[in-house]
Chains A and B, each alone.
Chain A
Amino acid sequence: MSIDADLARVDAPVPAPITVTKDYSLPDRIFRRGVQAAGIGVLFLLIAIGVFLLHAGYPAFHNAGLHFFTRSGFQTIGAHPSFGVFASLIGTIEVASVAMLVGVPVAIATAIFLSEYAPLWSRRSLIAMIDLAAAIPSIIFGLWAIFELQPNVVGFSTWLSRHFAFIPFFKVVSPPLNASLFIAGLVVGIMIVPIIASICREVFSLAPAGEREAALALGASRWQMIRSVVLPFGRGGMIGAVMLGLGRALEETIAVAIILGLSFTASAHILQHGGTTISQLIAVKFGSGGTLGTQDLLMCGFVLFVLTMVINLAASAIVNRSRSGAGVDL
C-alpha cells in the first residue's frame, strides 16, 4: 500500500461508538422498579423517622426553648411546665462512661486473645460464645443485673464511696446504693463487650502476615509483635469499634430501666440510687404527662436518634477508611 493510503487511514475520523440501549422486557422493568422502590423505600423510612419525630416533638421544644437542654424534670402538666433533658443527658453520659471504662479494656483484651492467643481448635467455639453474648436480649441482662449483679456490687460501691469520696462523683449523699447509675453502667459495659470484641477481632485478623513474620524473625516476643504490627494496623478498626460500643451504650434502654427503676430522679451521684438516662426516661414516662409530655419525650427521642446516627456513621467511616478496614496496603 502506498504511504498516502496509510496516512489516509490514520487520519480518517474514528467512528463513534455504538450506543447500546438496554432494552428491558416488561417483567424485568417491573423487577427493576420494584427493587429500586425497596431501596428508595428504605431511604424514605429513615427520613420519615427523623422528620416525624422532629415534627411531632417540636411543640415541646418550642415551649421550652433552649432551656430544653439545660433544665431537668418532667413537669409537663399544669400551667407552668418545666421539663428538660439535662439530667437525662448527664445520666446517659455517666452510664456510658462507666460502661466504656469497664467494657472497652475487657473487649480489646478478649479480641487480642481470640485473634492471637487462642488455639485454633477452640477459636470457633469461642467466637460462637461471643456472638451468643451479643444475642442475649437486653432484658435478660437486666434481670440478671438486678437479681444477681446488684447485690454483689453494692459492697464495692460502698467501698468506693467510703474511700474515694473526695471525687465529687463518688460522693454518696443519700444511701441506699442500689439502683444506681454505676450499676447500670456496669451492666451496659458487659453488654457492649461482644460488639467491640467482635469487630476488633476481625480487624486484628486482617493484619498482614508478612509484617507479623518480619517482627517475629527479628526476635520479637508475641506481645511485641502484636504491639508493633497488629495494634497499629487495627487502630482505625478499634476506634470504630469503640465508637459503636459507645453508640450502643447511649441507647441501651431496658437493662438501664430495670436497674434504675421506674421513678425519675435527677441525680449526678453515680454510686447512689437515682439518676436517669434519655432512653430510660422515654421508656418509663411514655404515656404520662399529657400531650406536652409525649411531645417532650418525642423530642428526646429525636435527640437520641440523631446522636446515635451520627456516631454510627462516623464509626463506619473511620473503620472503612482506615488501613485495616479498607484492606488495602497503605
Chain B
Amino acid sequence: MTTEVSMPPPPFDLTGGTPARGGRWAGPGPGGPVEAGEIEAEGVCAWFGGRLVLETVTLTMEQSKVTALIGPSGCGKSTFLRILNRMHEVVPGAQLAGSVRLDGVDIYGPGQRAIDTRRHIGMVFQKPNPFPAMTIADNVLSGLKFSRNAPADRDDLIEEMLTKAGLWNEVKDRLGELGGALSGGQQQRLCIARALAVRPRVLLMDEPCSALDPTSTLRIESTIKEIAEEVTVVIVTHNMQQAQRVSDYCAFFLAEENKPGRVVEAGRTEMIFGEPSDQRTSDYVNGHFG
C-alpha cells in the first residue's frame, strides 16, 4: 500500500488527527459551492473473492474536467469507479490495493472514514434509485440529512439543484409527490440533483444513461457539461459517441481473456479517438470489437 503517511496514530490521541496528517477536506457547507476536486489514483488493484479483476490502474482525473472511462463490458471500469468513492468495500469479499488521493489526501488513509469520503465524492448509478418513500423535495435534501447539514434555505437549494439537473421545470409544481412517481429519465435527473445537493467535489457516474431514452440522455449530457466547472465528473460509459460528446479526457480499459482489467491508454478525448497510440484502442473506438 502506498500511502504517504505510514505512522499509526499515537495510542491516546482520540481527536482524529491533526490536519497535517491524513486530515480532512473542508466539509460541504451550506453556504457556497466547494471547489471541484482532482482525483489521483495510483496503482489501484481490485480483487473479488480472491480473484484479481483490476490491475495497477494509475490515472489522474483533472479538476473541473470530465473524464470518461470507456471500454468493453466486464473490464473493471465500474469497479474502478466504485473504488474512487469507497463503495467497493461494501461488497463482501472485495479487496483492494493502491492509493486514491482527493486533492492530495488519500481517502484510504488511516483515520479516514468512508462516510466522509462519500460526502465529497458523490455517485450516480446506472439504474435510477430515488427513495420511493420520500417526496421529491426530501429526496433532494436526503444527502444533507445524512450529513446533518441543515441548508440555510431549503427551497432555494432544492430549486438550485433541480435546475442544475434539468428537472426543475417539470416538477416545480409537484415537489410533494413521491420520488418513485417519475419517469425513468426524470428519476435519474432527480438522483443527479440529490447527489449534487451535498456539494461534492467530484461526481462519479456509472453509465447513467444506459437505461434511459435518447431525450433524457441528451438532457443529462448537457447537465454534465454544465456542472463540470464546479464538480469534476468521472463517467463510465459504453457509448463511445457519448464519450466523445461529453468528455475532455478518456481512459480506455481492457480486460483480455482471463486477465484482469487494466488501462490500455489514456489521454485527451480527441487524441484517443483521433490518433490512438495502441492498436487495441484504435480497434475499439473504430468499432471492431466491444
Contacts and interface: CB of A to CB of B under 8 A. Distances in A.
B116 interface: yes
The DSSP consensus for interface residues of chain A is helix
A218 B90 contact: no
Contacts of B147: 219
B143 A219 contact: yes
Contacts of A75: none
Nearest to A209: B129
Interface stretch (A66-74, A144-152, A224-232): A224-232
Contact of B131 (A216, A217, A229, A323): A229
A218 B194 contact: yes
Interface size class of A (residues with CB under 8 A): 20 to 34
Among A217, A220, A329, the most chain B Cβ lie within 10 Å of the Cβ of A217
Contact of B127 (A210, A217, A219, A228): A210
B115 A217 contact: no
A218 B180 contact: no
Contacts of A229: 131
B123 A217 contact: yes
Nearest to B127: A210
Interface string A120-138: 1000000000000000000
Contacts of B119: 218-219
Contacts of B142: 215, 218, 228
Contacts of B178: 330
Contacts of A210: 125, 127, 129
A263 B85 CA distance: 66
Given A217-B122, A218-B194, A220-B115, A329 B132 contact: yes
Nearest to B130: A214
Interface string A198-229: 00000000001011011111111100100011
Among A219, A233, A330, the most chain B Cβ lie within 10 Å of the Cβ of A219
B194 A213 contact: no
Given A218-B118, A218-B122, A232 B133 contact: yes
A233 B132 CA distance: 9
In the complex, the 3 A-B pairs of residues with the closest C-beta atoms, listed nearest first: A219-B119, A218-B143, A210-B129
28 contacts: A120-B92, A210-B125, A210-B127, A210-B129, A211-B132, A213-B90, A213-B129, A214-B125, A214-B130, A215-B131, A218-B118, A218-B119, A218-B122, A218-B143, A218-B194, A219-B118, A219-B119, A219-B147, A219-B198, A220-B146, A228-B131, A228-B142, A228-B145, A228-B146, A232-B133, A323-B132, A329-B132, A330-B178
Interface of B: 85, 87, 90, 92, 115-116, 118-119, 122-123, 125, 127, 129-134, 142-143, 145-147, 178, 180, 191, 194-195, 198
Interface of A: 120, 208, 210-211, 213-221, 224, 228-229, 232-233, 323, 329-330
